[in-house]
Homo-oligomer: A and B are copies of this chain.
Amino acid sequence: MDLEGFRAALGDIPVEDNPRIVQQKSRDHYWYSPRLKSQLEHVTAAIVVSPRSVEEVVTVLREAFRFEVPITPRGAGTGNYGQAMPLSGGAMLNLMNLDKVISISHDRVRAQAGVVMEKLDEATIEAVNGELRFHPSTYRMASLGGFIAGGSGGVGSIRWGGLRNFGNILGLKVVTCEAEPRVLDLTGPDILKVAHAYGTNGIIVEAEMPLTAHYDWVDVLVGFDDAYEACAFAGQVALQDGLLCKEISPVAAPVPHDYFNRHRPFIKSREQSVVLIMAAPAAMPALADFVDFHKGDMLYRGDEAAPEVKAKLPPVYELAWNHTTLRGLKIDPTITYLQTQYPNLEKVKWAIDTFGDEMPMHIEMTKFDGRVVFSGLPIVRYTTEERLEEIIKLHEANGCLVFNPHRFTLEEGGMKQTDRAQLAFKKEADPSGILNPGKMIAWDDPDFDFDSGRTWLFTGLYTLGAA
C-alpha cells in the first residue's frame, strides 16, 4: 500500500485525514453486537476519500488499484454487521456526495448511490406521487446505495419481499477496481452479483428502482395482553389481502413500555405487548374493525391524533426493524439481538415459551418468496457469547433460520454458503482483492468448511492489532 502516492494521484478529490473524523467515518453500527464491538473497535482507515462524481470514483479506484490501497465503500454507515468497517485499513470511500436524482418517471426512479432515502422519496412524491417500495428504519439517514449494498429489506417488505427478489431493483451502475476501471450497467439477474455484497466486488454508484404509489401512511399501535396474542394478530393482519399496510411488527412486553419512551404515554402497562402498523388511509376503517374483532386495544392512531401530539412522536418505522434494538441499547447497553425467521406462528410460540424474558420477541411480518413469514429481530438479554450461540443452535434445531448479526462476513451473516455469482464477479471486478477486504470468506479462504461449526477469522484483523 502506497498511501502517499495514492493521495497525490487523487488531484482535487476531497480527502480527510483528521484521525478523529477518519475513525468516526470508519465506523458503522457494529456496536449493536457485543461480539463485533470488542472485535472491531480498533478498526480504522487512514483516510476518507469523498468523490463528487462517477468520474472521480473511477479515478479513486484506478489509483487505489495502482497503489494497492484497500478501499471500503460507505454510505451513511448505518449497517449493523460491520459491513462498512475497513478491516485492512486503507481508505474509506465516502459516497454521500454522489447524491443526485437522475430521472423520475411514473413507475421508477434513477439516482446516485449517496442520496438519502427520505430525500429521494421527497423528490419522487413531488414529481409523480410515488415512493420507494421499501426502506430501512434508518430512512432519514441511510443512502440508497448503502441499503442495496448492505441491506436486505425493511419497511415495505410485507408487500414486496426483499431487495433480493426479482424486480425490486431495476438496474445498478457499478465501477470496477482495475488498472482501467470499467463502469458497468447491470440489469436482470446480473444485479444479484453486486446487491448485498457489501461493496466487495464493485462500487455501486447509481441505482434504478421501481416506485409504488405514495400514501400518507397512518401510524398505529395496537395493544395485547401477551406477546403470543400480538404475534397472532400481526399474522392475521398480514394475511388480509385487502388491508394495505407497509409495516406490521409485534413487539413483546416489556420492550414497548421500557424502550419506546416517547410513545410510553399510550402504552397502558409494562405487561402490554404492542403491534406496530403503518396502514394506508383507506385501510384505516377496516383495520379498526379488525382490531375490534380480535379484541385488540387501539392505543394510538395517527389519523386521529392532534398535530401537537404527533409532532412529538417519532414515526412508527423508527420503533421497528433495527430501531427497536437501537432504542433498547440507549436504555440498556447490555442487550443485543438476533435475526431469525419463524416459518409459522407455532414456531413463534415455541420461541416465546422457550426463552421468555431472556429474549423479548420482536417480529417483522414479511413476504418471503410469496409467503407471509415471521421475521424475528428479538432482543436478547446478553450474558455470554456461549449462551448466545446456544440460543442460535436451539433455533436451528427447531427449524428456525438464523441470520447471525454477530458476524461481519457475507457468508456467516447470511446463508452460510458461498454465493458463486458474487465470487465470480469479484474475480472480474476486483482482481487484486482490495475492495472491502475480509468480508467475503469465499475470496480469502475458498476451502473454508461452513459445516465445521467454526467461526471464520480474518487474519488481516490480527495484522492491524484489532481483533
Give chain A's interface residues, CB within 8 Å of chain B. Answer: 106-108, 129-130, 133, 159-162, 165-168, 170, 187-189, 210-213, 215, 238-244, 280-283, 285-290, 293, 367, 369-372
- Pairwise interchain contact A241-B282, C-beta atoms closer than 8 A: no
Docked pose: A168 CA to B240 CA in angstroms? 10
Taken together as a complex, chains A and B put the C-alpha atoms of A205 and B149 apart, in Å, by 52
> Do B282 and A170 touch (CB < 8 A)?
yes
Using A166-B289, A285-B187, A285-B188 as known contacts, say yes or no to A161 and B242 having CB atoms under 8 A apart. Answer: yes
Give A95 to B317 CA distance when docked, in angstroms: 46
Decide if A241 touches B160 in the complex (CB within 8 Å).
yes
Pairs of residues from A and B, 10 with the lowest C-beta to C-beta distance, nearest first? A239-B370, A161-B241, A165-B242, A167-B242, A213-B213, A168-B242, A167-B286, A210-B282, A166-B286, A188-B289
Contact among B107, B130, B215, B372 with A281 in the assembled complex (CB-CB below 8 Å): B107
Which B residue's beta carbon lies closest to that of A241?
Answer: B161
- Give every chain B residue within 8 A of A287 (Cβ-Cβ): 167
CA A80 to CA B195, docked complex, whole Å: 49
Complex CA–CA separation, A44 to B198 (angstroms): 71
* Contact, CB under 8 Å: A166 / B243: yes
A286 to B210 alpha-carbon distance, docked (Å)? 12
With A167-B243, A240-B167, A243-B166 in contact, is A129–B106 under 8 Å at CB? yes
**Contact in complex: B372, A370 (CB < 8 Å):** yes
Bound-state CA distance A372–B239 (Å) is 11
Task: State the CA gap A98–B243 with chains docked (Å).
Answer: 29
**Residues in B whose Cβ lies below 8 Å from that of A244:** 167, 210
Interchain CB contact under 8 A, A108 and B213: no
Distance, CA A240 to CA B210, complexed state (A): 15
In the bound complex, residues from chain B placing their C-beta under 8 Å from that of A106 are: 129, 215
| A239 with B285: CB separation less than 8 A | no
Contacts of A165 in B (CB 8 A): 240-243
Of B133, B213, B215, B242, the contact of A160 (CB 8 Å cutoff): B242
